[in-house]
Amino acid sequence: MSLIHALVAKGSTILAEHQAGKRDFSQATQTILSKIPPNNSKLTYVWEQFLFHYISEGGFTYLVMADDSAGRRMPFAFLADLQRKFTSAPSSSSSSSEEVPAYGLQGSFGPTIAALMHTYNTAPPADELSRAQNELNQVKDIMVQNVEQILSRGERIELLVDKTDVMAGQATAFRRGARTVRRQMWWKNKKILALCVLVGLVRILLWILVAQVCGAGLNQCGPSKT
């Protein structure tokens, strides 16, 4: 079984889907649907050993989850066939102009998805695969993204916030340390200046005392002449 889960959605609202496996992939599919841009696009998301392929066109998204071994050729052929069946169905014209609730087309189009998945899982049409291969050869903007990166983005944002808080705390501590060092250097300069002034005053005081004994020119205290 290569194709596991397929759906048709309008925006992020699932209109109809079919799941062949038992595992629940609703969180991954909802995450992908919320990230699909409004413009027409084709994209492949990788999650574990599964690939989520989608075609977004005309406001509708056609998505299929497939095993990694299925590659891209067969899933995109399935999506192209699914898109043609949906656009040609009577329910698609009404859903284009009206607001359809979630799973509003499950009863009318869900069996179509199931039958198409069964066909492609058992005996995919060769002509559809060839046509899809030609289309894929012409499309150069199909990208691959990792669903796990999207799902873990919240955790990464929290880690980034934690790191930002740590850096902010470090910056505050650095500013406090810089102010402390600046004050210490200011007091050190003042002490040196005060010491220089004190030394100068002592020298002046000594000169005054010596001058009172030896005269202003200090010539009266020289060696006596015989």
pLDDT, average across residues 198-202: 83
Domain extents in the chain:
3-159, 161-216
As a residue count, the chain comes to 226
Q: Is 3-159 assigned to CATH 3.30.450.50? A: yes
133-178 confidence digits (pLDDT tens): 666 666 555 556 666 666 566 555 555 656 666 676 677 777 777 7
pTM summary value: 0.58
- Biggest CA-to-CA distance, the chain: 142
Contacts for 75 with CB less than 8 Å, ≥ 6 apart: 2, 3, 51, 53, 64, 66
pLDDT, average across residues 195-222: 74
Would you place residue 226 in the very low, low, confident or very high pLDDT band (cuts 50, 70, 90)? very low
| Three-class DSSP category at 64 | strand
Contacts for 58 with CB less than 8 Å, ≥ 6 apart: 40, 87, 96
pLDDT, average across residues 199-222: 72
Nearest-5° Cα angle at 124, 120 to 129: 115
Q: At residue 2, what is the residue type?
A: S
- State yes or no: pLDDT of 224 exceeds 90: no
25-77 confidence digits (pLDDT tens): 888 888 889 888 888 988 898 887 788 999 999 889 999 999 888 888 889 99
Lookup result for tokens 């979630």: 102
For residue 207, the surrounding DSSP H or E stretch is helix 153-214
Q: Quote the CA–CA distance of 200 and 121 in Å, as a whole number.
A: 102
| Three-class DSSP category at 60 | strand
Would you place residue 223 in the very low, low, confident or very high pLDDT band (cuts 50, 70, 90)? low
78-99 confidence digits (pLDDT tens): 999 999 999 998 876 566 656 7
